[in-house]
């Protein structure tokens, strides 16, 4: 059974539903499914986190109030929330491609960091040699290529040997994180600093800001990436081929599709977007990368994509919600003495509730059959 079983949006063709033995969504209440699979897990996760906060002596209403105040009702906080969205959106695009094609690309963190490192290492060296737009373009292209290359081994093993990609992508992600740190310390280290980091891209040479604010224009490119991927996977013949391969490889082969090549293409596109995510963070905000830096955005975005049911617009809404949570929780943690890692507790609660919601939905489906 693929990861898309029982999780197809209503826009998918009846043939795909038949291939996956999924009952058409029109026979069930759309509102009921939204409550069970999306809204319900979110509310339950917040309630579960609230109980944990009360157990440690923190008023959950005060904690959540600080989050809203800092991330949405503050001009600077809202700008930081929008900027934080940019790399997360590219990761959403990466995961939507893989998950809709029935593949698990869990190596996005390694692909993200390697894309970030190569863009941070090359862009500062090209300043003054190439025009500003060309410097950014080279950084993005190299990041996408490096991310795609890092997925070749899992792609080959999956396409031609049938090796489980969950294991191989996780292993490559672990290696990618370590390799990125090693490259910063040894090969790409800035000799002018005592801290192991790459050279710094000047602020004026980074991605331009939007409307005289601190919001990186990477936000616009991230939105375009998610919407483009959504359209490709739901409205184009190429996207249909990828989804057919994920739904039923045997039927796809019988129809004359090259399953191995389409599998390789899925991995390449997905990992390329993960590399672009890393470049967006460096070329738009940070300007450099330090050794041992690993925000682990990839694994955090996975529950958001599942909650959105692999839908582009839904993913954008949930990324905004999560970015606000990340920015606001930093302020709330300082004010209330809560560890900043409590956001991870909320994410873990969300994963648990998401799994329970999926179980309830599948149980209802079995009763209907």
pLDDT of residue 227: 97
**Pair 100, 233: CB distance under 8 Å:** yes
pLDDT score for 38: 78
Close Cβ partners of 322 (under 8 Å, ≥ 6 residues apart)? 88, 300, 301, 304
Instruction: Tell me how crowded residue 283 is: count the other CB atoms within 10 A of its CB.
Output: 26
The pLDDT assigned to 22 comes to: 44
Give how far Cα 80 sits from Cα of 9, 205, 322, 324, Å.
Answer: 32, 20, 12, 8
Cβ pair 239, 93 in contact under 8 A: no
Helices 132-149, 259-281: axis angle to 10 degrees equals 140
Looking at residue 77, its pLDDT comes to 86
d(CA 317, CA 29): 22
CA–CA separation, 183 vs 194, rounded Å? Answer: 16
Cβ–Cβ under 8 Å, residues 292 and 301:
no
Query: Which backbone phi and psi does 290 adopt, to 5 degrees?
Result: -95, 155
Q: Which residue's structure tokens are 């483009």?
A: 228
Q: 6: phi > 0 → left, psi -120 to 50 → alpha, else beta; which?
A: left
Using the predicted structure, report yes or no on whether residue 23 has a pLDDT greater than 70: no
Q: How many CB atoms lie within 10 A of CB 360?
A: 14
| DSSP character string of 87-144 | HHHHHHHHHHHHHHTT-----HHHHHHHHHHHHHHHHHHHBTTB-HHHHHHHHHHHHH
Query: In the chain, which ranges are E strands?
Result: none
Helix or strand or coil: residue 162? Answer: coil
Distances (CA, A) of 179 to 139, 195, 278: 19, 18, 15
Q: To which residue do tokens 């990477």 refer?
A: 218
The pair phi, psi for residue 229, each rounded to 5°, is -65, -40
pLDDT at 307 over 70: yes
Confidence of residue 40 (pLDDT cuts 50, 70, 90): confident
> What are the pLDDT digits (tens) for 220-273?
999 999 999 999 999 999 999 999 988 888 888 888 899 999 999 999 999 999
Residues 59-94 have pLDDT tens digits of 999 988 988 888 888 888 899 999 999 999 999 999
The string of pLDDT tens digits covering residues 157-190 is 999 999 999 999 999 999 999 999 999 999 999 9
When pLDDT is averaged across residues 301-327 and rounded to a whole number, the result is 90
**Average pLDDT, integer, range 95-110:** 95
- In whole angstroms, what is the distance from residue 29 CA to residue 313 CA? 21
pLDDT-wise least confident of 8-17, 103-112, 155-164, 260-269: 8-17
Lowest pLDDT segment from 119-128, 221-230, 247-256, 282-291: 247-256
pLDDT over 50 at 206, yes or no: yes
Confirm if 257 and 245 have CB atoms less than 8 A apart.
yes
Q: What pLDDT was estimated at residue 68?
A: 87
Residue 28: band (very low, low, confident or very high) from pLDDT cuts 50, 70, 90: low
For the chain, give the mean pLDDT: 87
Span 306-327, average pLDDT: 90
pLDDT on residue 274: 97
What SS3 class is residue 36? helix
Residue 43 φ/ψ, nearest 5 degrees? -65, -45
Q: Are 121 and 127 in contact (CB under 8 A)?
A: no
Q: Which of 366, 367, 368, 356 lies closest to 40 in space, CA to CA?
A: 356
Predicted confidence at residue 120, as pLDDT, reads 96
């Amino acid at each position: 059974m693929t990861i898309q079983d029982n999780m197809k949006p209503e826009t998918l063709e009846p043939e795909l539903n038949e291939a996956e033995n999924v009952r058409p969504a029109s026979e069930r209440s759309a509102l009921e499914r939204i409550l069970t699979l999306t809204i319900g897990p979110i509310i339950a996760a917040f309630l579960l986190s609230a109980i944990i906060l009360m157990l440690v002596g923190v008023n959950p209403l005060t904690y959540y109030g600080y989050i809203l105040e800092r991330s949405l009702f503050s001009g600077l906080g809202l700008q930081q929330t929008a900027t934080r969205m940019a790399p997360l959106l590219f990761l959403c695009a990466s995961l939507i491609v893989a998950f809709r094609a029935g593949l698990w690309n869990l190596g996005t963190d390694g692909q993200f960091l390697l894309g970030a490192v190569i863009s941070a290492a090359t862009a500062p060296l090209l300043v003054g040699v190439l025009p500003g737009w060309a410097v950014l373009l080279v950084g993005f292209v190299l990041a996408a290529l490096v991310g795609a290359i890092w997925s070749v081994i899992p792609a080959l093993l999956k396409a031609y040997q049938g090796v489980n990609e969950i294991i191989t992508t996780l292993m490559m992600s672990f290696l990618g994180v370590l390799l990125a740190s090693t490259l910063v310390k040894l090969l790409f280290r800035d000799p002018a600093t005592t801290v192991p980091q790459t050279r710094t891209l000047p602020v004026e040479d980074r991605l331009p800001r939007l409307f005289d604010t601190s919001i990186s224009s990477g936000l616009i490119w991230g939105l375009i990436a998610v919407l483009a991927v959504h359209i490709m996977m739901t409205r184009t013949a190429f996207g249909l081929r990828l989804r057919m391969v994920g739904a039923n490889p045997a039927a796809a082969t019988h129809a004359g599709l090259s399953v191995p090549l389409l599998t390789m293409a899925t991995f390449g596109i997905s990992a390329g977007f993960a590399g672009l995510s890393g470049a967006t963070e460096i070329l738009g905000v940070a300007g450099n990368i330090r050794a041992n830096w690993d925000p682990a955005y990839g694994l955090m975005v996975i529950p958001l994509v599942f909650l959105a049911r692999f839908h582009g617009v839904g993913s954008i809404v949930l990324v905004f919600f999560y970015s606000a949570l990340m920015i606001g929780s930093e302020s709330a943690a300082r004010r209330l003495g809560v560890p900043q890692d409590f956001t991870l507790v909320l994410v873990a609660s969300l994963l648990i509730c998401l799994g329970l919601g999926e179980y309830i939905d599948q149980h209802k489906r079995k009763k209907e059959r």
